[in-house]
Amino acid sequence: MKQAGISAFNSSSRRSLAAVLLAGTAMTMAATPAFAQEAEADAPADDNVIIVSGIRGSLAKALDEKRNADSLVEVIQAEDIGKLPDQNLAEVLENITGVQITRTAGVGTGVQIRGTNDNRIEINGVGTVGSGTGRGGISFEDVPASIIAAVEVTKAPTAMTTEGSVGGTINLRTIRPLDLRDPLISFRAQGEYSELSKSITPRISGSFGQKWDVGDGEMGIVVSGNYSKLDSTSFRPRVDRDGGLVENRNATVVRGTSTQLPAARPAAQDFDFVGIQFLNQELENFKYETYNISGSLEWAPSDSLKFYFDGFYNDQTRRQESSRVQGSGVSSLLDFSVPTAFETVDFGTLDGVQLGSIQVASKGTLEATLAADDEDPNLRFSSDTGARLTTNTLFRGGAEFESGRFSARAELSRTDSKTTNPNLSTTVNFINPNGFALTRNQNENPTPFAYDFTGGALTFGINSASPTAPTTAQLLDPANVVLDAVTVGNNKTKNDETAARLDMSLELDDVTGFITSFDWGYRYNKSSTKFDQIRSTFGTGDIRQSPRGTLFADILVPGKSTFGDFDGRELAFRDFLVVDQGLAFSDQAGTLAKLQAALNSTPTGITRLAAGNPLLSDPVSDPGAFFDISETTNAVYGQLNFEFGPVRGNAGLRYVMTNITSLGNQITPGGVALVSTTGKYDELLPRVNLTADLSDQLVARASFGKDINRPDFNDLSTSVNFGTGPNNPVAIGNPGLAPETVTSYDASLSWYFAPAAVISVGVFHKKRKNLFVDQLDPPAVDINGFVDITPPCEGGGIYNPIPDRNVLSNIPGNGLCVGRLTKINDTGSTKQTGVEVAFQYDLSSFEDSIGFASGFGLAANYTYQKFSGGTATNNAAPRGRDIFNAINGIYNDNNFVTYSAVQGLLDFSKHAYNVTAFYEKYGLSARARYTWRSAFRTNDTAGGATLTSTFGFPVVTAARGQLNGSITYDLTDNINIGVEGVNLTKSKIEQYCVNDGALLCFQGLPDRRLTFGASIKF
């Protein structure tokens, strides 16, 4: 059956589809670009099947696809059934030129294509929806690589390509039943060992496929399933230095109308220095349990008609069992605690302005002093016990029809995601029996700390040399902790997308000369997201409503004491108590009831309970945070496909109309008001792709296209979600956000200098308008480091009634002004330019002369990119602005200089490369892949830090490389065994505040994981 035009929608070559999906036609470790092409319609079906196996065959076929391409699509395909090069789909995509990834606890979760996270994710060409309220599509950790036959990334779209991406469209393809040559039965069983979690978890997958002759046609079915568990851990130490300025002993400090004389700073030196503001030791642990099943049914009653139906189901539980041990109230000692060692930190430049250098504390102790405070520094133990329970479904059904020159495809699809987020997180304060007595109503007292950052690591813990240091027994005694905060919730998010499309094509190759066909079509799409916050919180600084741990001792357990396992550090918090995390997940109601009973027994709890207003109620829906947003799009397109001489390609237009309705609640003095806002816009998107065969070995390509990137749904919401942390800003939606537009240009030249070998160089340029940028409006900070505690926050920020004020006010209680975070459109244009280089070669053609060595091969790619432009800036936060001004001798905030920098593109690395060495011969297949990316700015920080804590600017994640590898061996033609490793060299993550290499603020120490197992196929 002819598929001219329609085949481009699948972004795959019909001529080799069976090989693509069954045997694999692309390199398993380093993808080479492949491109969509039209079918050779008259070739018999059996001739279309090209059987290849292993890496070398995959390389040869991938290069053949590239040379016959019309539009830029890069592909990674399974070397065998259920055998993509990595277990995680984000890790798989990292093999592609121009793709970098980010990780959570060592697991790939985010993908940047050409420096952006704004990409579209599809399964078999159908858009997916995620578990949150953004537009990122299905989470990569939700889909196991074992049920995916191929992954393709479209970097240069055609008019037929659905809009909505900046970097590219990622399509996850499953096996197509009618492309099976033989019956398919495969099974794979593996175990994964996580070094830091000290656990082994199972991975089991299987596939079944069969094709039958039915009358004059044929029918086929494929079903694939997977069950897997994953236990991933990372250690994340965090040290905050914002608000840590100690001015020199000769400086007179003025804040507003208040003056601080040098005598008030006994720790002052002859020079300004930055001390410690906050310590946080986080053990981040995620436990995944995933069930997946996908199936496809195809029926072709004749050569001119085919029906198909696809189904995909995912059920994932992702439990978080993380803990944070915090040295809080440290800022109270800034003017009284003298470090024993300093280091010079150069903050570099911001937008060409030199910030300068300052001394920063690098080693010392933090001891309590009554001259400063009788309750600080204090020790807190937090248990972050949340979960994400997500089910995803996707259904696609349609028909392909052909009659003469005309072909058409009609398709209906539906995808949805339902997520529940059970959460029971707690904080207990340690009451040091060796510290100062509780003379007031505070629920904390001092514990001595020591810190040492001189070895390039953020290490801190109990100062065991102090006479007030608690013993292990005291730290683990429930009588020495009190309940300080509880958050219990059960948030619900529902996302869905319904689409219908009709694609048609008319062949014109022998009618109009160089125009081979005309494609046109229509697509309808309706998307919606609904969020309901179901929550109850408790937080206090008052001992009269903080029950002792003895009242809930049966649910207190020692926290994990393995924080030094990654790098052998000696200085760490190892002994602490947390509410049982497993119990908080498996029996949330029972755990909550015990905490409520303990709270109700306190003096304040008794009074509140009698008044019908308990300290901690059962979770209920928060009307102020609810929103329901729907979006409808209608798109039409037309595209001419042409070929003249050595040049072929396509040119077309896509016109998109979008209507959006946002329904949310706003809190008013009179109660809750339902607010509905609407908006609409339309875009015309021209797209052109050209390919020229300059010689038998040289292929040149060029493309031009325009696309749009719509704002995340939560960024359009009028509702407000108040957090529980006193330093966390409140995000305020902006229903007036316009979509970002991106205009892209691509050009490349590929030289196929030998069989299964290529050197390619490509350049790209993007012009982006209406870039989405975060803007922080921080609260004012007085000379004592305190913020306003009453609305309407005239000095800046927004009033949050929930958090305990902690050290941000000298008046105990809840409620204070926090930062206001809003997303806006950058009014300037951002330009992005890059170069991509790829190399691929193996020695298979020298088998007769070098024997076993002919199994070696190499694949590598490199990406360089830069950006410029933009006008929206980040400004230094108050607890950072003082440091930059002190460097220049300014200590009066009436004279402060405002420091700012254009935010630009986040998660954007200037340089990145990927090198894969492989060997395949005599049934042995081995590969080692090293991936590296240069430093990049990001808002993804450790331990919940926000722009307020990072001086007002995104942090910089330092350059990092990671080594993965695998070895497999064919015991027989049907049985294979192997072992794979992730992060073999235990590469760590470092994040710096303000600029790369400036002030080390956060570290990530992720897992090394090993997978072993066997596969059987028939």
Given a cut of 90, is residue 125 above it in pLDDT? yes
Contact 172, 123 (CB under 8 A): yes
How far apart are the C-alpha atoms of 773 and 824, rounded to whole Å?
5
Beta strand segments in 87-132, E = 99-104, 107-113, 120-123, 126-127
Span of 78-92, 332-346, 358-372, 919-933 with lowest mean pLDDT: 78-92
Q: Return the pLDDT at 92.
A: 85
DSSP letters of 318-366? Answer: EEE-EEEEEEESGGGGTTT---SEEEEEE--EETTEE--EEEEEEEEEE
Mean pLDDT of 748-767: 93
Q: Is the peptide bond before 735 cis (omega within 30 degrees of 0)?
A: no
DSSP letters of 10-78? Answer: HTS-GGGHHIIIII--S-SSS--EEEE----TTS-TGGG-----HHHHHHHHHHHHHHT-SEEEEEEE-
199-214 and 184-194 beta bridge pairing: antiparallel
Q: Return the pLDDT at 550.
A: 97
Q: Return the pLDDT at 667.
A: 65
605 sits in which H/E element: helix 603-610
Contact 413, 498 (CB under 8 A): yes
Residue 186, judged by CB atoms within 10 A of its CB (0-12, 13-18, 19+), counts as: buried
Given a cut of 70, is residue 27 above it in pLDDT? no
Contact 61, 21 (CB under 8 A): no
C-alpha distance from residue 340 to each of 244, 450, 453 (Å): 16, 11, 11
pLDDT digits (tens, 9 = 90+) for 839-848: 999 998 898 9
Q: Return the pLDDT at 168.
A: 93
Choose among 866, 276, 589, 506: nearest CA to 597: 589
Residue 839, judged by CB atoms within 10 A of its CB (0-12, 13-18, 19+), counts as: middle
Reported confidence tier of residue 80, pLDDT bands at 50, 70, 90? low
pLDDT digits (tens, 9 = 90+) for 821-838: 999 999 999 999 999 999
Name the amino acid, one letter, at 951. F
pLDDT digits (tens, 9 = 90+) for 612-632: 999 999 999 988 889 999 999
Choose among 943, 956, 938: nearest CA to 993: 956
| Radius of gyration of the CA atoms of the chain, in A | 30
Reported confidence tier of residue 59, pLDDT bands at 50, 70, 90? low
Helices (H), 813-927: 847-850, 878-887
Give percent helix, percent strand, percent coil of the chain, each to the nearest 5.
15, 50, 35
Q: Is the peptide bond before 85 cis (omega within 30 degrees of 0)?
A: no
How far apart are the C-alpha atoms of 841 and 853, rounded to whole Å?
13
472 sits in which H/E element: helix 472-475
Choose among 598, 493, 515, 620: nearest CA to 552: 598
Reported confidence tier of residue 455, pLDDT bands at 50, 70, 90? confident
Contact 531, 627 (CB under 8 A): yes
pLDDT digits (tens, 9 = 90+) for 272-331: 999 999 999 999 999 999 999 999 999 999 999 999 999 999 999 999 999 999 999 898
Given a cut of 80, is residue 87 above it in pLDDT? no
Estimate to the nearest angstrom the gap between the alpha carbon of 588 and the chain centroid.
28
Given a cut of 60, is residue 34 above it in pLDDT? no
Q: Return the pLDDT at 145.
A: 81
Please give the residue that has the higher pLDDT: either 701 or 721. 701
Residue 412, judged by CB atoms within 10 A of its CB (0-12, 13-18, 19+), counts as: middle
State residue 895 phi and psi, 5-degree precision.
-110, 10
Reported confidence tier of residue 461, pLDDT bands at 50, 70, 90? very high
Name the amino acid, one letter, at 278. F
How far apart are the C-alpha atoms of 518 and 520, rounded to whole Å?
7
Residue 587, judged by CB atoms within 10 A of its CB (0-12, 13-18, 19+), counts as: middle
Span of 147-151, 249-253, 877-881, 984-988 with lowest mean pLDDT: 147-151
Reported confidence tier of residue 70, pLDDT bands at 50, 70, 90? confident
How far apart are the C-alpha atoms of 782 and 804, rounded to whole Å?
18
Query: Which tokens go with 84?
Result: 């993509």
Cα atoms in the Cβ-side hemisphere of radius 13 Å centred on 879: 28
Reported confidence tier of residue 5, pLDDT bands at 50, 70, 90? very low
55 sits in which H/E element: helix 54-67
How far apart are the C-alpha atoms of 765 and 748, rounded to whole Å?
12
1009 sits in which H/E element: strand 1009-1017
Contact 789, 815 (CB under 8 A): yes
Residue linked to tokens 């929806």 = 129
Reported confidence tier of residue 436, pLDDT bands at 50, 70, 90? confident
245-246 and 829-842 beta bridge pairing: unpaired
pLDDT digits (tens, 9 = 90+) for 777-813: 999 888 888 899 999 899 899 999 988 888 788 888 8
Q: Return the pLDDT at 24.
A: 31
Residue linked to tokens 């539906």 = 414
Q: Return the pLDDT at 954.
A: 94
Span of 69-83, 355-369, 511-525, 646-660 with lowest mean pLDDT: 69-83
DSSP letters of 138-152? Answer: S-GGGSBGGG-SEEE
441 sits in which H/E element: none
Conformation bin of residue 847: beta by default, left when phi > 0, alpha when psi is -120 to 50: alpha
Q: Return the pLDDT at 946.
A: 85
Buried b (16+ CB within 10 A) or exposed e, 44-63: eeeebbbebebbbbbbbbbb
pLDDT digits (tens, 9 = 90+) for 112-124: 999 999 999 999 9
Contact 65, 73 (CB under 8 A): no
pLDDT digits (tens, 9 = 90+) for 669-696: 666 677 888 899 999 999 999 999 999 8
pLDDT digits (tens, 9 = 90+) for 201-257: 999 999 999 999 998 899 999 999 999 999 999 999 999 999 899 999 999 999 888
DSSP tag of 22: I
For the chain, the distance separating the N- and C-terminal CA atoms, rounded to the nearest angstrom, is: 29
Cα atoms in the Cβ-side hemisphere of radius 13 Å centred on 274: 31
Q: Is the peptide bond before 954 cis (omega within 30 degrees of 0)?
A: no
Given a cut of 70, is residue 703 above it in pLDDT? yes
Reported confidence tier of residue 44, pLDDT bands at 50, 70, 90? very low
Query: Which tokens go with 405?
Result: 């020159």
388 Cβ contact list (under 8 Å, min separation 6): 131, 316, 317, 318, 419, 420, 421
pLDDT digits (tens, 9 = 90+) for 558-580: 999 888 888 889 999 999 999 99
Helix (H, G, I), strand (E, B) or coil at 42: coil
How far apart are the C-alpha atoms of 959 and 233, rounded to whole Å?
21
DSSP tag of 20: I
Q: Return the pLDDT at 61.
A: 67
Name the amino acid, one letter, at 193. Y
Choose among 3, 10, 37: nearest CA to 689: 37
Mean pLDDT of 126-136: 90
Helix (H, G, I), strand (E, B) or coil at 1018: coil
Estimate to the nearest angstrom the gap between the alpha carbon of 223 and the chain centroid.
30
Q: Return the pLDDT at 1006.
A: 92
> For all residues of the chain together, what is the average pLDDT?
89
pLDDT digits (tens, 9 = 90+) for 844-895: 889 899 999 999 999 999 999 999 999 999 999 988 899 999 999 999 999 9
Q: Return the pLDDT at 806.
A: 80
